[in-house]
Amino acid sequence: MSLGHTILGLLEQQPRHGYDIKRAYDEQFGHDRALHYGQVYATLSRLLKNGLVEVDAVEAGEGPERKRYAVTEAGVTDVEQWLGRPEAPEPYLQSTLYTKVVLALLTRRPAADILDAQRGEHLRLMRELTRRKLDGDLADQLVCDHALFHLEADLRWLELTSARLDELAAEVRR
């Protein structure tokens, strides 16, 4: 996800202080990992330098002055272009799990154990996501569905690889 574009989109709704940007981000997108203030201000600094946001107002406070940021027309155009661009599918052609399986086979370790352990971890996470989905709002349900569908595809790969492990062992040891 592009943090810069996400912040621009949030600012398109209304001008906001850094604190308000973080809170809006966390409410909408921080389901698993909240945004750090340092990320917000570093991104705002870059967006400001690139002319995609501007300081809309400066307010005196108890501590440092509080800046309120607004998106510029260039920022709106940038978000519009980003939203219109399809994301590249992530094919995972060189996954860590595949590397572990091949290295286990090359070093004559039990690759089936690696696949079994991974299957167990996938199933554990799928149970956790299913519970979260049942208790969550629509946003949580959609995020969990996305993750569950990817985990299901991984499980299919684990099963296929387990079924072809002897064949793969012969091939990688050649």
Q: Looking at the whole model, is its pTM more than 0.85?
A: no
Last residue in a domain, options 84, 109, 143: 84
Please give the chain's pLDDT, 174 residues, in tens.
689 999 999 999 999 999 999 999 998 888 778 899 999 999 999 999 999 999 999 988 777 888 999 999 999 999 999 998 887 777 776 688 888 999 999 989 999 999 999 999 999 999 999 999 999 899 989 999 999 999 999 999 999 999 999 999 999 888
Last residue in a domain, options 25, 49, 84: 84
Full domain range(s) for residue 69: 3-84
Residue 94's pLDDT is 62
Q: Is residue 89 part of a domain?
A: no
**Segment (H or E) for 71:** strand 66-71
Residue 9's pLDDT is 94
- Phi-psi bin for 92: left (phi > 0), alpha (psi -120 to 50), beta? left
Cα separations (Å) of 127 from 122, 131, 164? 9, 6, 27
